[in-house]
Structure 1
């Protein structure tokens, strides 16, 4: 109620007190149902200033052409909010009174008059030019560069601002964000508009520090502060989980349940786990069947090539170039010819059954390698597509935990793997650097994940037991 009252507060001239709003709450507080209710209010309710009555009280009117958009980085992320809206409207008095057509993806008027509630997902320039009267953006701590979230947020904001004089606004919900990710949630929180009080920012945080997460009284009190009057929250159950569940990083508990901004500095892989996969008894030999993973750069990050033996999942490094960050070499670039030579040497030395390469900066090269070594052996693997990458990262991590993968102890590969931290996206967990500007490289870890995934696909294709025969056309 407090959030709604402040969000709909007006100035003496009837204009909005706040041009936009953000609600930051703990997981399970009820942010999505509230957004659904606001969407309905903006669609059919009197929610725009009309005039002051004889008693000096404001009188509201309906939005003439209500266009409510539910923004998300993927369409399936809008489904929860849409499901809430459909549930609230179906078989309600509003359905008949306003003549609503409640579809699976769109709510509109049966009479055909203008107005709708529709989902919108990141699609670049195709969203430019829309004129929403109200936009909802849910869980914007997941809106990061890898899924196009910040760009999409800017598109929605620009579209809203075109009709802001008529009362159009947007609202976002979020959990506490990871400050290493530069998410939309972080951009809003750190914006000058929030500092100046022009955007409403409503947040309840639990007062607790990371080293206090083993103190039962402090954990329970922090949860009560974070959930406020959300009486449905299971404070006792959440307290027990935080105290005794050691499978989840402390930063996750701080962010999602105590609603405190915290860096996910917890490593993806512990040194003990990685060292347990070390094997120096069975070296990789020329002629072994292998899969390859490649991740390339031009100047900033490292460029690497990692192999993975098919019969036992053993990883080894075939090539690495890292920017030395030497002031005397400001124009350093990757030696492309050395990369080409490394790939050629790998195919000539081993039986390469599957190759996955991340295309950015190297799409032309990967295309040539596909022609030279066979388009059923060389494939693109876009690591910036989270659904596929999340699955590959999870398989790699699970295999390491049960020692279904091995490595030869290469120092650079070990360093890159231990540099990785996890970042949560709607699809699951990805690996990333500990901050966007970090000098700690993780590129060989990415190569290893691709190589291990390539091994799995090669085995699934039956290549472990078959002998490779090349067909060359002229």
Structure 2
């Protein structure tokens, strides 16, 4: 029906208006597709085709208490004054109604699906645009690489305050531009060298899948100067395929830092998208993560890079060594 309406409106050079409650993530509804399209435009990943999107949503941390609802609901309902606050409050406080439904219906919040690792409430409160990475800052790097379909991400995590910033994210374009696309390896390589030239890198963990040769080159160039080294065969390679236990424990450590609000970020929409795409994967060792399905277009590679950077920082604090900063001066006897 949506495609038909769009086609008819286009024929008549007309506009149409779509109104809905907050969608349920994972249903692949028209509302969800519209939100995804809007966010792609904001990220610069899709052409601005001219549609307007407006959504008044309650703050992710809004509690479902009578005091909060009486303040927030009149602001969210806008001019829909026929929505009585006290009647809606009775529904919200009804224990037979799931809180996630109340948040979608009455607070217009996009609530994560049941198997999501994080929801907007956990991630958005970590946004801190006042923090900015500065040249010379001590950082650890995380890297997760793809070849064609999967994304490739290089991410920095500042040692002093665990502020996360994407240094590079390469993703397959939508539509015809994505045909025969491959990750521009030279651009990725340049981004890694630029990171080492700009910041004081204390550790660098990179998933070796599909990138073994480049990672060996980076390790040969920079491995000796790192304060903490990966547990693999070289100073940088951290193979996520070899140890389910190690990956699971690393993910749980990152989850705890996020839920305890120890990490901050700059509000990058691409990083947010990847984090919110992650799904809970339980195994014998605990909680790991993954995509919706193996072939899902909803990527999580930036989250994987964040996990590797966080693990490098964990190891740095646990067993890192002091590295004397090079001054370029020599002494002769």
After TM superposition, the score normalised by the length of structure 2 is 0.59
Residue of structure 2 in register with 1:412 after alignment: 270
Per the alignment, do residues 326 and 276 of structure 1 end up closer, same or farther by CA in structure 2, a change over 3 Å counting? same
Q: Matches of 2:188 and 2:177 in 1, distance apart?
A: 23
Question: Higher strand fraction: Structure 1 or Structure 2?
Answer: 1
Q: Is the 8 A contact 2:145 2:152 kept in 1?
A: yes
Q: Secondary structure at the match of 2:176?
A: coil
What does the per-residue CA deviation read over 1:238-268, in whole Å, with 9 as the maximum and x for residues that have no partner? Answer: xxxxx99x9xxxxxxxxxxxxxxxxx85210
- Any residues of structure 2 matched to 1:217-232 within 5 Å, and which? none
Residue of structure 1 in register with 2:187 after alignment: 338
Q: Is the 8 A contact 2:139 2:200 kept in 1?
A: yes
Q: Matches of 2:136 and 2:190 in 1, distance apart?
A: 18
Per the alignment, do residues 432 and 340 of structure 1 end up closer, same or farther by CA in structure 2, a change over 3 Å counting? same
CA drift of 1:375 comes to 4.3
Residue of structure 2 in register with 1:383 after alignment: 240
Q: Matches of 2:297 and 2:151 in 1, distance apart?
A: 10
Q: Matches of 1:311 and 1:412 in 2, distance apart?
A: 24
Residue of structure 1 in register with 2:89 after alignment: none
Per the alignment, do residues 468 and 387 of structure 1 end up closer, same or farther by CA in structure 2, a change over 3 Å counting? farther
Q: Matches of 2:253 and 2:324 in 1, distance apart?
A: 27
What does the per-residue CA deviation read over 1:429-456, in whole Å, with 9 as the maximum and x for residues that have no partner? Answer: 1111111111101000000010111111
Per the alignment, do residues 416 and 466 of structure 1 end up closer, same or farther by CA in structure 2, a change over 3 Å counting? same
Residue of structure 1 in register with 2:127 after alignment: 278
Q: Is the 8 A contact 1:265 1:434 kept in 2?
A: no
Q: Is the 8 A contact 2:140 2:157 kept in 1?
A: yes
CA drift of 1:325 comes to 3.7
Q: Is the 8 A contact 1:310 1:459 kept in 2?
A: no
Q: Matches of 1:345 and 1:399 in 2, distance apart?
A: 28
Residue of structure 2 in register with 1:289 after alignment: 138
Q: Is the 8 A contact 1:307 1:451 kept in 2?
A: yes
- Alignment of 1:458 with 2:307, yes or no, is no
CA drift of 1:461 comes to 3.1
Residue of structure 2 in register with 1:93 after alignment: none
What does the per-residue CA deviation read over 1:249-288, in whole Å, with 9 as the maximum and x for residues that have no partner? Answer: xxxxxxxxxxxxxxx8521011111112112222111100
Q: Is the 8 A contact 2:223 2:236 kept in 1?
A: no
Residue of structure 2 in register with 1:447 after alignment: 305
Q: Matches of 2:163 and 2:293 in 1, distance apart?
A: 29
Q: Is the 8 A contact 2:127 2:266 kept in 1?
A: yes
CA drift of 1:458 comes to 1.7
Structure 2, gaps ≥5 residues long: 1-94, 99-112, 227-234, 329-333
Per the alignment, do residues 346 and 386 of structure 1 end up closer, same or farther by CA in structure 2, a change over 3 Å counting? same
Q: Is the 8 A contact 1:301 1:443 kept in 2?
A: yes
Structure 1 or 2, whichever has the larger Rg, is: 1
Coordinate RMSD, CA, aligned: 2.3
Q: Is the 8 A contact 1:296 1:302 kept in 2?
A: yes
Q: Is the 8 A contact 1:313 1:406 kept in 2?
A: yes
Residue of structure 2 in register with 1:311 after alignment: 160
CA drift of 1:421 comes to 0.5
Per the alignment, do residues 337 and 470 of structure 1 end up closer, same or farther by CA in structure 2, a change over 3 Å counting? farther
Residue of structure 2 in register with 1:257 after alignment: none
Per the alignment, do residues 470 and 441 of structure 1 end up closer, same or farther by CA in structure 2, a change over 3 Å counting? farther
- Alignment of 1:396 with 2:254, yes or no, is yes
| Greater RCO, 1 or 2 (C-alpha within 8 Å, sep 6+) | 2
Q: Matches of 1:278 and 1:358 in 2, distance apart?
A: 26
Q: Secondary structure at the match of 1:379?
A: coil
Residue of structure 2 in register with 1:302 after alignment: 151
Residue of structure 1 in register with 2:115 after alignment: 266
Q: Matches of 1:467 and 1:415 in 2, distance apart?
A: 38
| Count of paired positions | 210
Q: Secondary structure at the match of 2:175?
A: coil
Q: Is the 8 A contact 1:299 1:333 kept in 2?
A: yes
Residue of structure 2 in register with 1:22 after alignment: none
Q: Is the 8 A contact 2:131 2:163 kept in 1?
A: no
